[in-house]
Amino acid sequence: MAKGPEKCDVLLVGGGHNGLVCATYLARAGLKVTVLERRHVVGGAAVTEEFHPGFRNSVASYTVSLLQPRVIADLDLHAHGLRIVQRKRSNFLPLPDHRYLLTGGGETEPQVAKFSRRDAERLPEYERRLEAIADVLRALALQPPPNVTDDGWWKALPELVRAGRLGRRLHALDETLRQELLDLFAISAGEYLDRWFESAPIKAVLGFDGIVGNYASPYTPGSAYVLLHHVFGEVNGVKGAWGHAIGGMGAITQAMAKAALAAGVEIRTDAGVREVIVENWRASGVVADSGETLRARAVVANVNPKLLYERLMSPNVVPAPTRERMTNWRCGSGTLRMNVALSKLPDFSALPGEGEHLTAGIIMAPDLDYMDRAYLDARVHGWSKEPIVEMLIPSTLDDTLAPAGQHVASLFCQHVQPELSGGRSWDDHRDEVADVMVAAVEKYAPGFSASILGRQVLTPLDLERTFGLIGGDIFHGALSPNQLFSARPMIGQADYRGAVPGLYLCGAGTHPGGGVTGAPGHNAAKVIISDLCCWRPCRPMWERRKPRSLYPGTSYRGLRRSTLRSTLCQGLRHNATKPVLADS
């Protein structure tokens, strides 16, 4: 694409979905924004590409639920071509003894009753409690968390107000639910589910959400929160549902790109960044891989915080506490991702033939103990000999992805070491481990391997090389209790402002975390607009859109008041003494 102006208001590094969301909000506020994307296409890990002649699929991210309805509405994504359909069934769990559990479609309770009447009777109360907690956390997802600061009372006061609002929201939960929420942040998914249920299949279906993209056992403390994180979502107004974007996950980010372009954002592909420029202790631009220098009032990073601070910034300009935090920032999802082209649909021994179960998330891991062994096995050997595999067949809902009569499937495979031990490289074991994953599906669906016409295999190393997912981490940092909320990415940077003035973060390494949500981009844009648009109108008054159109529910007067307060605090902070630097 053509070069943009030499200096703009905002340079945004990384054209993934959060970057596109953030850029659109900023441009609608009148800021001049340039997005720099290293790959040939925007979208980050949410892209659709041809991986075998005639077969297209969502390459990395592969299912829809967590995308914020606010973001969909504000960016008018449906008008830009986005169409999401709901799965006909939620999950299908085939079992080695040829029994099965099929959830969703109004049939979950009778399905669970096949294994335990007690569990079927307890399921509605379990769902009620999680939904009540999820409702509170959904609202918090679109707000910056309280930022712990030592910059004096003028900076701490707004954070105390924010903490007070948080307390009021949590107080809306009764005492039982407040205790339940605390437990969900602290205990394991296995312990939490063992409290509720006695039969293995329902615990396996629910417990899978506690380890998906999480290099951990379902009995690892803190994994219950990962389970809760995946309950936040909704599809077409149905809470807790999962869906598919027609055209694959790339349809979401292409709609976002259209919204960004319509707002005036300049998008430059094949435009990687090798360094964030810091001058006089302030981020002032970037150096592109091409050697070109670009200047801006602010730099926004839509990348893993570890990648930003350790690879895109000189150690001499990163404060020592930030460097230490990034050294200890835990990344690695334990995931191998596969896309396969199929000559026919899989035929499961537990439920032969075609049917709605093939539109579901198909989980091949019969119980929590199996998942625990898979994790422990991977830690010792590098990958699970009996892995956990979730398979989706999006072509059962979307005929644009494969030739007529043929299909594509997404395999999300766990566990594998993010970095192979013993000096081994994933380049040497890619196909070997992919064969293990295919064999795991073959046990439940005989003939599956023979139906494969072509496959794409992405190890953690491939995911890092292609999408910048360090260690293959789909969340830009583990969703562990010490890496959540006000500690994401670290104490003092929970407000999306980076380690130096003029630097911001808007990716999944900030609150509320990973998944295709758009929430970090939405939240970061609020902060950046408040910092850059306080003292002058970003557009003439007669052209400016009312803030209400950007953030429904926020009055113009209230936004200006909060803007003034935020900018005063930001200015005081950024005019403070030079930060403590790492040793050179």
Confidence (pTM) = 0.88
How far CA 398 is from CA of 87, 191, 402, 408, in Å, comes to: 11, 38, 9, 10
pLDDT given for residue 162 in this prediction: 57
Widest Cα–Cα separation across the chain: 69
Q: What is the pLDDT of residue 568?
A: 39
Of 431, 457, 472, the position where a domain reaches its end is 472
Q: Check residue 152 and give its pLDDT.
A: 52
Closest CA to 371 of 191, 210, 515: 210
300 with 312, same domain? yes
Is 224 found in the same domain as 207? yes
Residues 116 and 228 in one domain: yes
Q: Report which of 319, 302, 317, 305 is spatially closest to residue 10, judged by C-alpha positions.
A: 302
Return the pLDDT at 234: 81
Residue reference for tokens 């005929």: 399
Query: How many domains, in total, are found in the chain?
Result: 3
pLDDT score, position 316: 95
Say how far apart CA 202 and CA 192 lie, in whole Å. Answer: 13
Instruction: State the pLDDT at residue 168.
Output: 66
Asked if residue 323 is part of any domain, the answer here is yes
DSSP conformation class of 484: S
Q: What is the pLDDT of residue 165?
A: 62
Preceding amide of 415 cis, omega within 30: yes
Sign of the four-CA dihedral 415, 419, 423, 428 = positive
Boundary-marking domain end, from 472, 504, 537: 472
pLDDT value of residue 569:
43
Q: Is residue 583 part of a domain?
A: no
468: left (phi over 0), alpha (psi -120 to 50) or beta: left
**Ranges of the chain whose pLDDT falls below 50:** 1-5, 153-154, 535-584
Residue 491 has what pLDDT? 92
Whether residue 99 lies inside any domain: the answer is: no
Q: Are residues 567 and 526 in the same domain?
A: yes
Reduced to 3 states (helix: H, G, I; strand: E, B; else coil), residue 544 is coil
Distance CA 401, CA 47 (A): 13
Whether residues 284 and 361 share a domain: the answer is no
One domain for residues 144 and 211:
yes
- On whether residue 93 sits in a domain, the answer given is no
Asked if residue 71 is part of any domain, the answer here is no
Domain range enclosing 451: 48-62+331-472
The string of DSSP codes covering 256-321 is HHHHHHHHT-EEESS--EEEEEEETTEEEEEEETTS-EEEEEEEEE-S-HHHHHHHSS-GGGSBHH
Note whether residue 182 is domain-resident: yes
84 within some domain: no
In a domain? residue 558: yes
**What per-residue confidence (pLDDT) applies to 547?**
38
Bridge-based pairing of strands 335-342 and 361-364 is unpaired
Domain boundary among 239, 267, 292: 239
Per-residue HEC secondary structure of 327-356 comes to: HCCCCCCCEEEEEEEECCCCCECCECCCCH
Backbone phi and psi for residue 196, each to the nearest 5 degrees, phi listed first: -95, -40
Alpha carbon distance 43, 250 (integer Å): 7
**Tokens standing for residue 428:** 């040497």
Residue in the block written with tokens 């903490």: 163
What is the pLDDT at residue 158?
59
DSSP letter assigned to residue 35:
E
pLDDT tens profile 380-406: 999 999 999 999 999 999 999 999 999
